[in-house]
Copies of this chain bind each other. A is one copy, B any other.
Amino acid sequence: MRDVQNDLDERGINIQKVGIKDFDIPLKIRRKNLSNRTVNAKARVTVSLPENYKGTHMSRFVEVLTDWQNKDVLGSDLRGCITQIAEKLSAKDGELQLDFKYFINKTAPVSKLVSPLGYDCMFKSILLNHNTENEKYKFILGVKVPVTTLCPCSKEISEYGAHNQRAMVSVNICYDTSKHHIWIEDLIQEIESCASSSIYSLLKREDEKFVTEQAYNNPKFVEDVLRDIVTILRKNEIIKSFEIECDSMESIHNHSAWAYQKEIK
């Protein structure tokens, strides 16, 4: 059978990224202080394609990911996966993004009852100039953290009460996985500390009183949440770059208050 993908292409265009998207795959992820857990990842995997090739070989991406479904994956291990993909496809550059729901057991502030909370997380591995002297590797860890924001303006101007709402804080950080390790659990905890209050799945009445009063005592605009996270991430010497999004689904509007920051140190 002829391999059409290997045909000569004469348009003279190197393709930056080509591969598969929206591929569901179960993966075993290592957790902090807990046994491994299988997550359902959605993968996007691509390679660069030189100008003279008509097409890439899509089935090879699936083959490599299928191999990786039974390993115990830590973010840092993904360099092995994207390297294997780049080699199997004779590519210079490769990129692997995995989006998955990750559960953390959270303890309610007063009753101390424990229940799981699911966070949308992401691993992204970028390999550039593989097998050359300019080879570079970049790993990005992403978390989406639901929190409570309570409006300082509403509290200030109202005789009682203050509007508050769920906000989604998305943080992507880049750090050197060959030297350091940052647990999803730890990154999430730092982000939660910057909100008016943290969010829980299970709250008894004594907990609900606690989080209600805590949020009221701790009013924050999206600007405040963002700036407090920026302050923490700037101080953290391990982190080389970061991107923050704070999306507060206002309870008094049908739109969000939104803030964004991206910094490379």
A46 to chain B, nearest CB (A): 7
Q: Which of B15, B150, B158, B223 contacts A223 (CB 8 A)?
A: B15
**Residues of B with C-beta under 8 A to A213:** 158-161
Residues 158-185 of chain A, each 1 if its beta carbon lies under 8 Å from chain B, else 0: 1111111110000000000000000000
A124 to chain B, nearest CB (A): 14
**Residues of B with C-beta under 8 A to A228:** 11
Bound Cα distance A164, B254 (Å): 14
13 contacts between A and B (CB under 8 A): A11-B230, A15-B261, A17-B259, A18-B260, A22-B255, A26-B103, A58-B257, A62-B202, A157-B209, A161-B162, A163-B211, A165-B165, A201-B254
Bound Cα distance A256, B230 (Å): 30
Residues 1-38 of chain A, each 1 if its beta carbon lies under 8 Å from chain B, else 0: 11111000101010111111111111000000000011
Main SS class of interface, A: mixed
Residues 131-172 of chain A, each 1 if its beta carbon lies under 8 Å from chain B, else 0: 000000000000000101011111011111111111000000
* B205, A153: Cβ atoms closer than 8 Å: yes
* A13, B163: Cβ atoms closer than 8 Å: no
A95 to chain B, nearest CB (A): 9
Across the A-B interface, the 8 shortest Cβ-Cβ residue pairs: A161-B216, A24-B118, A21-B258, A23-B255, A17-B260, A158-B212, A18-B259, A21-B256
Bound Cα distance A21, B59 (Å): 32
> With A164-B165, A166-B254, A201-B66 in contact, do A224 and B158 touch (Cβ < 8 Å)?
no
- A222 interface hit (Cβ, 8 Å): yes
* B212, A40: Cβ atoms closer than 8 Å: no
Bound Cα distance A166, B166 (Å): 9
